[in-house]
Amino acid sequence: MFLQQLLNGIALGSTYALVAIGYSLVFGVLRIINFANGSLYMLGAYLVFVLYSAMNGQLVLAILFALLATAAAGFLVDFVGLRKLRRDNAPRMSGLISTMGIATIIENVIQIWIGTETKQFPDFLNFGSFQIGSAIVTSTQICIFFISLFLMAAFSLLVYKTKIGKAMRAVSQNMTTARLMGINVKLVISGTFMVSGFLAAVAGTMVGAYYRAIDTLMSSSVGMKTFAAAVLGGVGSLPGAMVGGLLVGVAESIGGSYISSGYRDAIAFAILILVLLIKPSGIFGKKIVEKM
């Protein structure tokens, strides 16, 4: 039982980690929380569903297009909702409300367009299952874990080893200086949003495959949970987002089965509040000192 829940939690947690990376990347660069990130996760899954039906089962192509389209949507979140606010030097709270508005728009467009009923999702990662002790592990879980791990490793390499990553980190430390150094700040910001959209879409697609179904409620709780994961790990920290994602996934899975399944979702929120109150910088985050 415990082992089973632990394995379930790791699989789920690794998808949280992917979405949490998106929150962290954006927060690192802009110091704002992109509330639309959770709805991009849902958008990604729905686009796979729609394209898969429309393209007569061309699954690989459908997924590819969906991921790219969600990345583009990520770019649009910034372009529509945030670029002007940056130019106006608006308070950060405006960015929060604006991205929350975009999240509401995305979710409702999907609801109106596709409907609120649960849709069946292609079960494309299912190649069977095997047993470890008393626990059953499905191939879907294994795929989710390794795809997430691969993407996390790839993005760590991107951020820490490449020129683009260097530019990204420079922008997150000081935007003005980065601009003066000749870094195309706009491009870096757009890139960050596209990456976070892409990762969210991958996570959404994998979770769709995991449950073999998607519905329009999938984004609201995941948005909060993955955000909790990002905060737990330390917003702005890439390894923090990964560890935070796994921890929230495991805590939710184990807590949900041992305490009460009704309070399953509350666990992530409780973690979120406790971290903010006790150590707002999270596990890996740096402390931000406010100046007088």
Q: What residues line the site for other proteins (CB under 8 A)?
A: 33, 80-81, 84-85, 90-98, 100-105, 107-109, 112, 220, 224, 227-228, 231, 260, 262-263, 265-266, 269-270, 272-273, 276-277, 280, 292
| Cα–Cα distance, 215 to 33 (Å, whole number) | 24
Q: 245: which residues sit within 8 A by CB, 6+ positions away?
A: 13, 14, 15, 16, 17, 18, 19, 20, 21, 226, 229, 230, 233
Q: Which is nearer to other proteins, 122 or 233 (CB)?
A: 233
Torsions phi, psi for 213 (to 5 deg): -160, 150
Min dist. Cβ of residue 102 to other proteins (A): 6
Other beta carbons within 10 angstroms of residue 54's beta carbon come to 10
Min dist. Cβ of residue 119 to other proteins (A): 19
Min dist. Cβ of residue 192 to other proteins (A): 19
Q: Which is nearer to other proteins, 87 or 163 (CB)?
A: 87
Min dist. Cβ of residue 157 to other proteins (A): 30
Q: Which is nearer to other proteins, 124 or 284 (CB)?
A: 284
Min dist. Cβ of residue 173 to other proteins (A): 18
- State the DSSP string of 266-280: HHHHHHHHHHHHH-T
Min dist. Cβ of residue 29 to other proteins (A): 16
Q: Which amino acid is located at 99 in the chain? A: T
Q: Which is nearer to other proteins, 184 or 261 (CB)?
A: 261
| Cα–Cα distance, 24 to 162 (Å, whole number) | 18
Q: Which is nearer to other proteins, 42 or 231 (CB)?
A: 231
How is residue 207 written in tokens?
Answer: 């979770």
Helix (H, G, I), strand (E, B) or coil at 97: helix
Min dist. Cβ of residue 147 to other proteins (A): 29
CA distances 287 to 100, 237, 280, Å, are 26, 12, 8
Q: Give exposure, 73-100, as e/b (b: 16+ Cβ within 10 Å).
A: bbbbbbeebbeebbeeeeeeeebeebbb
Q: Which is nearer to other proteins, 68 or 97 (CB)?
A: 97
Cβ contact 246:195 at 8 Å: no
Q: Which is nearer to other proteins, 140 or 237 (CB)?
A: 237
